Each structure stands twice: as structure tokens, then as C-alpha cells.
Structure 1
Amino acid sequence: MADRITHRAFFGETERPFTLTDPMLAELERLTGQGTGAIYAQIVGMTCPARTLTEIIRLGLIGAGMAPEEAMRLCTTYAHNRPLTEILPLAFGIMDARWSGVEATT
């Protein structure tokens, strides 16, 4: 069932799965102090804090099964200090997969 909320995208050196599971979504809300709808609206309106983008990516990696330390390492290497136009589409894709779901693949 997580496949319906899993976004797949190239990050780092390869294509990876990103899943905002219920616990990761709750952690994102805790870290940002905002509800899911507000976070999604900020991303769509391009008004979200930069840190929110990297947290979405990090938590999406963890939700898809990556160890937290590895997710942090990848974000530090490939998301921090990068142009926001590089990480916004990835963060949006991860949030949109949770908001709207993704097409089933065969």
C-alpha cells in the first residue's frame, strides 16, 4: 500500500524511493509546527522555508526504509547549500505523492 504514496526520483547517485509514512508526516508536522495542508500549500505557493524542503527529503528517505544517519548524510551532501530550484521539485514530488497518491506501476 505504501507504493501509492511513494515518490521515486534521482537523488545522489541513483534513483531512490521517498515515502512520507504516517510517522514521518507526524515528525514533519512537529518539526515545522504546521499541519500537512499548510506545508503542502506553502510548497505549491513557493513560500516554504528552505529547511522544510530538506526535511521533506530526509524524512521521505527514512520513511522508505533508509537509516536516519544515511538519510542525513545524503541530504547534507546533495540538498544542503544547493540552489532551491534543484530541491524544490523533489520535495514537491514527495509531498504530492502523499497528498494525491501516485499511479500504480506494472
Structure 2
Amino acid sequence: MIDHSVFFGDGPRLFRLTDPMVIELERLTDTGIGGLFSRMTRNDFRLSDLIEVIRLGLIGGGTNPEEAARLVATYAKDRPIGEILPLALDVLDARWSGSETAE
């Protein structure tokens, strides 16, 4: 499984970095997925990296793009990095290593 389910914002959300979302993430961050994963795990990331992982994970998990943008604007932007970093890492790690999320 490459899914990560967690309460985000106003309810439980499914995050999934599908292949098209990974390609878009690579384009937006100008970094390959391996480089981005490595960078994030050593705390060498940009704030926009975290925001895009969360937004694209929501879209890949079935949230429509407008709703994903609204959720990110409300619950991820202008929040402490310590709040959003664990979520972004969990979403990326689910794609990297798989997850234990039950359906």
C-alpha cells in the first residue's frame, strides 16, 4: 500500500502519491523523488516541498484539486513546520516504503 490515512484539518483524509502526482511533485520541486526523499529525511527541505507533498498527496488520495488547495491553505500554510513536517514525511514514506494503512 502507498496510502497514508490520518486526521487532517477537519476530518480523516487519505493521502496517496500516485505516479502522476510524483511526476508533478518532481516538476514543482525541480528534484527527483529520491533526492527529495533524501533531502527531507535529513531536514534539508524547502517549505514549499512540504506543502506540495501534502497537497499532491490529498489529490492522489481522491480529494479534488480545489478542495486540496483549500485544505492546505487553511491547515498547512502558516503553521509551525513541526506540525506539517511529520505529515509530509509520512506521505512520502508511504510511497517510498509502503504503509500499514488498512482499507
Would the TM-score normalized by the shorter structure come out above 0.5? yes
1:94 alignment partner AA: V
Residue 71 (str. 1) matches residue 68 (str. 2): yes
1:91 aligned residue: 88
1:47 aligned residue: 44
1:54 alignment partner AA: I
Q: Secondary structure, in 3 states, of the residue corresponding to 1:66?
A: coil
1:31 alignment partner AA: L
1:82 aligned residue: 79
Describe the shift of the 1:49–1:99 C-alpha distance in structure 2 as closer, same or farther (beyond 3 A).
same
1:35 aligned residue: 32
- Paired residue for 1:23, among 17, 20, 31? 20
For residue 104 of structure 1, report the CA deviation from its aligned partner: 5.5
TM-score between both structures, scaled by the size of structure 2: 0.96
Q: Once the two structures are superposed, what CA deviation does each residue of 1:44-92 show, in whole Å capped at 9, x if it has no partner?
A: 0111000110100000000011110000000000000000000000000
1:79 alignment partner AA: A
| Structure 2 gaps, min length 5 | none
1:25 alignment partner AA: V
Q: Distance in 2 between matches of 1:105 and 1:11?
A: 17
| Structure 1 gaps, min length 5 | none
For residue 42 of structure 1, report the CA deviation from its aligned partner: 1.1
Identity %, equivalent residues: 52
1:42 alignment partner AA: R
Task: Show the 5 A alignment for 1:1-20.
Answer: 4-20=1-17
Q: Distance in 2 between matches of 1:49 and 1:14?
A: 26
Q: Distance in 1 between matches of 2:101 and 2:75?
A: 28
Q: Distance in 1 between matches of 2:79 and 2:101?
A: 31
TM-score between both structures, scaled by the size of structure 1: 0.94
For residue 103 of structure 1, report the CA deviation from its aligned partner: 2.2
